[in-house]
Structure 1
Amino acid sequence: MTYLVFVCGHSGTGKTTLAKKLFGSLMQASGAPFCLLDKDTLYGGYSAAAMAMLTGDPNDRDSPLFLQHLRDPEYRSLIDTARDNLELGVSALVVAPLSREVRERRLFDRAWLGVGEKVTLRVVWVYTEEETAHRRIVERGNPNDAYKLAHWDEYRQRRFVPGGKVCDDLLMFDNTAPTSADHEALLARIIGEPYPAATMQPPLPV
Structure 2
Amino acid sequence: MTAAGNPEPPQPFSPTAHQTLRDLAAHASSGVTIVCGFPAAGKTTATRLLAELVDPVVLDKDTFAPRLEESVMAELNGNPHDRDSDLYRRVVSPHLYAALVQQAVTIARRCPVVVDAPFLGYITAAGEQERRLSDYIRTIAGDDAVIRTVWVETDTTQIRERMALRGAERDRPKLADWQTYRANVLDSGLAHTGPRVTDYRVTN
**CA RMSD of superposed structures (Å):** 2.1
Partners of 1:59 and 1:102 lie apart in 2 by 22
1:100-179 mapped onto 2 (5 Å cutoff)? 100-103=121-124, 104=126, 105-109=132-136, 110-116=138-144, 119-156=145-182, 157-159=184-186, 160-163=190-193, 167=196, 170-175=199-204
Partners of 2:173 and 2:33 lie apart in 1 by 29
SS at match of 2:108: helix
Percent of aligned pairs sharing the same letter = 30
- Gap change, CA 1:168 and 1:71, over 3 Å in 2: closer
> For residue 154 of structure 2, what is the amino acid of its counterpart?
T
The two structures have a TM-score, normalised by structure 1, of 0.72
Q: How many Å apart are 1:169 and its aligned residue?
A: 5.5
Q: How many Å apart are 1:115 and its aligned residue?
A: 3.0
- Gap change, CA 1:80 and 1:146, over 3 Å in 2: same
User: Structure 1: which 5+ runs fail to align?
Assistant: 28-33, 176-206
User: Aligned residue for 2:60?
Assistant: 38
From 93, 102, 117, give the equivalent of 2:114: 93
Partners of 1:151 and 1:60 lie apart in 2 by 12
> For residue 200 of structure 2, what is the amino acid of its counterpart?
L
User: Structure 2: which 5+ runs fail to align?
Assistant: 1-28, 127-131
User: Aligned residue for 2:22?
Assistant: none
The two structures have a TM-score, normalised by structure 2, of 0.73
Q: How many Å apart are 1:106 and its aligned residue?
A: 3.8
User: Aligned residue for 2:34?
Assistant: 6
| Structure possessing the higher radius of gyration over alpha carbons | 1
Q: How many pairs align? A: 165
